[in-house]
A and B are shown apart, each in its own frame.
Chain A
Amino acid sequence: EAEVAQSPRYKITEKSQAVAFWCDPISGHATLYWYRQILGQGPELLVQFQDESVVDDSQLPKDRFSAERLKGVDSTLKIQPAELGDSAMYLCASSQVGAGGFPQYFGPGTRLLVL
Chain B
Amino acid sequence: SQQGEEDPQALSIQEGENATMNCSYKTSINNLQWYRQNSGRGLVHLILIRSNEREKHSGRLRVTLDTSKKSSSLLITASRAADTASYFCATATNTGFQKLVFGTGTRLLVSP
Contact = CB atoms under 8 A, between A and B. Distances in A.
Contact of B31 (A50, A55, A56, A101): A101
A111 B98 CA distance: 26
A108 B101 CA distance: 19
Contacts of A45: 99-101
Interface stretch (B12-20, B41-49, B62-70, B74-82): B41-49
A43 B43 contact: yes
B30 A105 contact: no
A41 B104 contact: yes
A42 B45 contact: no
Interface residues of B, number: 28
Given A55-B96, A55-B97, A108-B42, A42 B105 contact: yes
A31 interface: yes
A79 B27 CA distance: 32
Nearest to A6: B42
Contacts of A107: 42
Nearest to B47: A103
Interface in B88-112: 88, 90, 92, 96-105
Interface string A70-103: 0000000000000000000101010101001111
Nearest to A42: B102
Given A45-B99, A56-B99, A100 B42 contact: no
B40 interface: yes
B33 interface: yes
A101 B30 contact: yes
Contacts of A97: 98
Given A31-B97, A56-B97, A103 B48 contact: yes
25 contacts: A41-B2, A41-B104, A42-B4, A42-B90, A42-B103, A43-B88, A44-B1, A45-B101, A48-B99, A55-B96, A56-B96, A56-B97, A89-B40, A97-B98, A100-B50, A101-B30, A101-B48, A101-B92, A102-B98, A104-B33, A106-B42, A106-B45, A108-B41, A109-B41, A109-B42
Interface of A: 4, 31, 33, 41-45, 48, 50, 55-56, 89, 91, 93, 95, 97, 100-109, 111
